[in-house]
Every structure is written in structure tokens, then in C-alpha cells.
């Protein structure tokens, strides 16, 4: 059973369009993170959200943590080809040493 | 600042040969260390993690093993590689609530 479900699995859009990807679970997480990964490289941490309902912005990227801390969304405004990559969400089940739980990712392709 | 080094970047090994992938972290003490495997650009499968020297937790029983001989060194090994071991292997350090820093990965192809 996959604890974190990401949707959609694949997304191909034109440059300038807006998009939202989702990360859902039936479990509560103490925090949730988003990573972006480019081919042949390791994932890079974009943001960590901790409080239910929290919204964080990183330039054109807006991250939201659900009120119940079971889900999260990533919204990209005016997507650019440089946004292309695999977006992974990961949840921390506690603040200790328990490893993160990763979703399977959303592969985004932004076409110029 | 903290950095993580993982090598080699690519590796082609014959079936039945041994494997040793090394990961080292600089700039921090007693880091939590992780080995992940990733198939074809998809999600990450946790293989092993370690919270201290000599402490290894295995998440998936398989043809691989891990060791932590020094505080900031984490090694992934196999005595005899299988074709199914071909994958992208990632090392990471960090604490769950604060996020992980990943190495650049090793692309292993078993032929």
C-alpha cells in the first residue's frame, strides 16, 4: 500500500500554462516536503510544510499543506521549460529518526 | 556547509560480480544516512538507513547489504550482482522533519 499517492503521474503542458499536482494520503504527517529531480541527478528539496493549512511560495511555485496534514498540493504559475522534472512529495511520520515516506512522483514536461 | 559525495556516477558490472558503492558526508556529525533505489524515473524505494556507526536498518530484504564503518561513511554492497539490481542508487542524509540532501546518484547497469 502506497502511503502517499501523487497525481497526475504524468503531465505535459505548454509554456505559460498553470498547473497543480497533488499528494494525498489517509495518514497524518508531522511535515511534508516537495522535491524536484532532474534526469540523472538526485532530488533537490524545494520546501517543507509543517502546519496544517500552511501555504508557502517559492517564486512561481505555491505549496499548500492540508488542514488535516494528510495532503498537499503544488501549484505552478506560468510554467517554464526549466520547471520540467520529476516532482516528489515526502511525508515525515514524526519528528524523530523514522525515514521519510515518498510518493511515486509526478513527471512534468513543459513544452516551449 | 554540508556536502554529500557519492561515487561512482556510473557503473557497468557483470552478473555475479561484487558491488561497492560509497557515500560520504562532510560538514556534519552523526548524520542519519539512507540508501534509496529508483527505477526508471519513478519513486524512491528505501533500502537501508543508519542512525549511527554500526547501526543499519534494512527495509527490503534482497541481494544487497549496507555498512557504516565511520560516522560519515555509508557503503552499499553486494556479493553477487543480479540483473535485477540494475537501477539508479541514491544516498542521502538528513532528519525526516527537516528534509534530506541527496547525492548525485549512481547509475548501475548489470550485464
C-alpha cell at A85: 522534472
Contacts of A40 in chain B (CB under 8 A): 105, 107
> Bridge partners of B11?
B108
Instruction: Note the pLDDT of residue B41.
Output: 61
Q: Is the pLDDT of residue B61 over 70?
A: no
- Select, from the ranges B3-17, B49-63, B84-98, the one with the highest average predicted confidence (pLDDT): B3-17
CB contact under 8 A, B41 and A86: yes
Span B22-35, average pLDDT: 93
Average pLDDT of chain A, as a whole number = 94
Band the pLDDT of A85: cuts 50, 70, 90. very high
**In B, which residues are within 8 Å of A97 by CB distance?**
32, 51, 95-96
Residue A61 has pLDDT above 80, yes or no: yes
pLDDT average, residue stretch A34-47: 95
Query: Do B103 and B95 touch, CB atoms closer than 8 A?
Result: no
Whether B11 shows a pLDDT value over 90: the answer reads yes
Alpha-carbon distance of B35 to B37, in angstroms, equals: 7
Gap between the Cα atoms of A92 and B43, Å rounded: 16
Check residue A69 and give its pLDDT: 94
Nearest Cα residue in chain B from A95 = B97
The mean pLDDT of A69-97, rounded to a whole number, is 93
What are A's interface residues with B at a Cβ cutoff of 8 A?
30-31, 33, 39-45, 48, 50, 86, 88, 90, 92-100, 102-105, 107
* Total beta-carbon pairs less than 8 A apart between chain A and chain B: 64
Report chain B's terminal Cα–Cα distance, integer Å: 38
pLDDT at A65: 97
Closest chain A CA to residue B10: A40
- Distance CA(B65)–CA(B70), nearest Å, equals 16
Phi, psi for residue A59 in degrees, rounded to 5: 55, -115
Enter the C-alpha cell of residue B13: 558490472
- For B10, other C-beta atoms within 10 Å of its C-beta total 11
CB B83 within 8 A of CB A18: no
Sheet holding A55-58, edge to edge: A5-7, A19-24, A71-76, A61-65, A55-58
> How many angstroms separate the CA atoms of A96 and B24, rounded?
22
Q: How far is CA B99 from CA A27, A44, A50, A92, in A?
A: 19, 10, 11, 9
User: A95 falls in which pLDDT band (50, 70, 90)?
Assistant: low
**Residues A61-83: what's their mean pLDDT?**
97
Residue of A nearest to B39 (CA): A104
Tell me the percentage of chain B whose pLDDT exceeds 70.
97
Amino acid at each position: 500500500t502506497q502511503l502517499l499517492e501523487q497525481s497526475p503521474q504524468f503531465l505535459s503542458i505548454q509554456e505559460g500554462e498553470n498547473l497543480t499536482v497533488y499528494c494525498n494520503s489517509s495518514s497524518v504527517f508531522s511535515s511534508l516536503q516537495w522535491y524536484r529531480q532532474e534526469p540523472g541527478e538526485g532530488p533537490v528539496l524545494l520546501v517543507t510544510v509543517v502546519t496544517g493549512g500552511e501555504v508557502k511560495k517559492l517564486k512561481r511555485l505555491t505549496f499548500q499543506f492540508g488542514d488535516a496534514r494528510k495532503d498537499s498540493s503544488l501549484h505552478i504559475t506560468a510554467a517554464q521549460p526549466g520547471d520540467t522534472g520529476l516532482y516528489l512529495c515526502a511525508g515525515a511520520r514524526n519528528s524523530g529518526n523514522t525515514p521519510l515516506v515518498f510518493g511515486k512522483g509526478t513527471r512534468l514536461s513543459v513544452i516551449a | 556547509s554540508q556536502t554529500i559525495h557519492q561515487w561512482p556516477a556510473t557503473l557497468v558490472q557483470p552478473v555475479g560480480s561484487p558491488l561497492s558503492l560509497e557515500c560520504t558526508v562532510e560538514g556534519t556529525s552523526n548524520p542519519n544516512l539512507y540508501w534509496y533505489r529508483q527505477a526508471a524515473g519513478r519513486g524512491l524505494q528505501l533500502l537501508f538507513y543508519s542512525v549511527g556507526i554500526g547501526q543499519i536498518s534494512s527495509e527490503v530484504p534482497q541481494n544487497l547489504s549496507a555498512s557504516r564503518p565511520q560516522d560519515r561513511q555509508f557503503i552499499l554492497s553486494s556479493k553477487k550482482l543480479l540483473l535485477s539490481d540494475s537501477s539508479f542508487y541514491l544516498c542521502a542524509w538528513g532528519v525526516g522533519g527537516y528534509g534530506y540532501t541527496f547525492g548525485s546518484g549512481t547509475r548501475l547497469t548489470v550485464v
